[in-house]
């Protein structure tokens, strides 16, 4: 009897200690997750690590994270132990098509951890025979949030599991909140870096403009002046050579400063060009057809080209009247800058005469676009840019 009681107490103590140890391990993993989230600055690496740790601590088999942008476009950003049916063709089932959890997220219906959602991707994998689904049919899903901002979804699933306990969901939610906060921190840091970069570029542009540019300009003027002081053909030739070189250096410096200059695109390219036209004292009309919602690289390209075209109009066209038309279609955006000024002699197909115009062409071609220049003396000049979207 004594022995039996003794063994009973011993067993109970062992079970209690085991439970305590498990609890301790869980807490320890959560601590490591929190530490990683706090330190890591590489988003992809962080998500992959945290997902694996979360699955380890919960004993759940598979999981994946979608990051979702403001327009509802998603990217698979981490995944662990997906069944073959979902990794088919380099994870194609996870990278295209919609699903119910994304719909709920985008409709704003998914605020907290949702227990079980039937998985549309798994259903498709079965229907189209993409491969084994390892008994997975449903998943739990939780939005990644920081305050009111949302960044994506965390999904987890196990074979034949159609219900997640309150405890599992609470843990999922706690980790999801931490991930959301970490994503926000990384985004803020990136933002800060790019602000610092812009400030640095502005400073460099200003310094180059005020120092090197002015010195080169003085050099050009001095050489020009010195040429007046001699009639020696050899000296004149040397001076002309110096004049050409310094003129070239000045042009290159101008181009460099041009590329470093601030963006000024906070309110979109149409408004930026409108303001620039005002700065130059032009009588500019900007006409927009379609909705301007362009990728940053294209906006920046249109902005730079538009700026140079307006500069030329101001410097060379001998008129204040100019029009810019931007029309956005499904597959391309077209920008035309037209003035009714003095024009210049240019035949289609002819080599582009100089730096300003050829940089416009290069900028458009860098984005696989087209650049067309037409100018007729006494009628005016038109520049047309077409960039594929």
Residue span binding ligand ATP (CB under 6 A) among the ranges 164-172, 177-185, 193-201, 315-323 = 315-323
Residue identified by tokens 């140079």 is 308
Q: Which of residues 347-386 bind ligand ATP (CB under 6 A)?
A: 353-357, 381
* Residue 203: burial class (beta carbons within 10 Å; 0-12, 13-18, 19+): exposed
Q: Which two tokens stand for residue 124?
A: 């498709």
84-120 burial code (b ≥16 CB/10 A, e <16): ebbbbeeeebbeeeebbbbebbbeeebeebbbebebb
CB of 350 to ligand ATP, least distance (A): 12
160 alpha carbon, distance to own chain's centre: 39
Question: 169: how many CB neighbours lie within 10 A of its CB?
Answer: 17
CB of 316 to ligand ATP, least distance (A): 3
Strands (E), the chain: 62-68, 74-80, 114-118, 138-146, 149-157, 283-289, 321-328, 332-339, 370-376, 380-388
CB of 244 to Mg ion, least distance (A): 19
Measure the CA–CA gap between 317 and 335, rounded to whole angstroms.
19
Which of the choices ligand ATP, Mg ion, none does residue 343 contact, using the CB cut-off of 5 to 8 A by kind?
A: ligand ATP
User: Judging by DSSP bridges, how do beta strands 283-289 and 321-328 pair with one another?
Assistant: parallel
Which of the choices Mg ion, ligand ATP, none does residue 243 contact, using the CB cut-off of 5 to 8 A by kind?
A: none
**Contact flags string 318-357 toward Mg ion, x per CB under 5 A:** --------------------------------------x-
Which of the choices ligand ATP, Mg ion, none does residue 79 contact, using the CB cut-off of 5 to 8 A by kind?
A: none
Binding residue for ligand ATP (CB under 6 A) from 185, 206, 261, 316? Answer: 316
Ranked by CB distance to ligand ATP, the top (closest) residue is 356
CB of 204 to Mg ion, least distance (A): 22
306 binds ligand ATP (CB under 6 A): no
Residue span binding ligand ATP (CB under 6 A) among the ranges 34-42, 112-120, 235-243, 336-344 = 336-344
The contact set with ligand ATP (CB under 6 A) reads 251, 254, 312-313, 315-317, 339, 341-344, 353-357, 381
The contact set with Mg ion (CB under 5 A) reads 312, 356
């Amino acid at each position: 009897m004594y022995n039996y009681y003794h063994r009973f107490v011993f067993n109970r103590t062992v079970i209690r200690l085991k439970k305590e140890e498990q609890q301790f391990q869980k807490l320890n993993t959560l601590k490591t997750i929190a530490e990683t989230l706090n330190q890591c600055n590489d988003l992809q690496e962080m998500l992959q690590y945290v997902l694996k740790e979360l699955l380890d601590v919960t004993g759940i088999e598979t999981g994946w994270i979608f990051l979702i942008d403001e327009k509802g476009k998603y990217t698979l950003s981490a995944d662990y132990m997906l069944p073959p049916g979902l990794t088919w063709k380099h994870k194609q089932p996870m990278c295209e098509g919609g699903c119910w959890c994304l719909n709920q997220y985008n409709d704003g219906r998914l605020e907290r951890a949702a227990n079980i959602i039937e998985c549309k991707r798994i259903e498709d994998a079965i229907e189209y025979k993409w491969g084994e689904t390892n008994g997975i049919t449903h998943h739990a899903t939780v939005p990644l949030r920081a305050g009111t901002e949302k960044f994506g979804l965390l999904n987890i699933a196990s074979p034949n599991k159609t219900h997640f306990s309150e405890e599992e969901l609470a843990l999922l939610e706690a980790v999801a909140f931490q991930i959301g906060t970490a994503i926000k921190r990384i985004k803020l840091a990136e933002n800060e870096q790019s602000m610092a970069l812009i400030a640095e570029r502005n400073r460099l542009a200003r310094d180059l403009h005020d120092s090197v540019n002015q010195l080169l300009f003085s050099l050009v003027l001095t050489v020009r002046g010195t040429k007046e002081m001699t009639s020696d053909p050899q000296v004149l030739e040397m001076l002309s050579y110096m004049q050409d070189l310094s003129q070239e250096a000045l042009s290159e410096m101008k181009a460099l400063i041009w590329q470093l200059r601030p963006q000024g695109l906070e309110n979109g390219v149409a408004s930026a060009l409108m303001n620039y036209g005002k700065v130059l004292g032009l009588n500019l009309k900007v006409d927009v057809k379609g909705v301007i919602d362009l990728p940053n690289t294209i906006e920046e390209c249109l902005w730079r080209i538009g700026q140079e075209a307006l500069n030329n109009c101001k410097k060379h066209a001998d008129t204040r009247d100019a029009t810019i038309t931007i029309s956005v279609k499904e597959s391309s955006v077209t920008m035309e800058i037209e003035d009714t000024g003095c024009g210049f002699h240019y035949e289609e197909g002819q080599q582009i005469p100089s730096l300003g115009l050829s940089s416009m062409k290069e900028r458009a071609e860098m984005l696989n676009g087209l650049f067309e220049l037409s100018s007729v003396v006494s009628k005016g000049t038109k520049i047309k840019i077409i960039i594929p979207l």
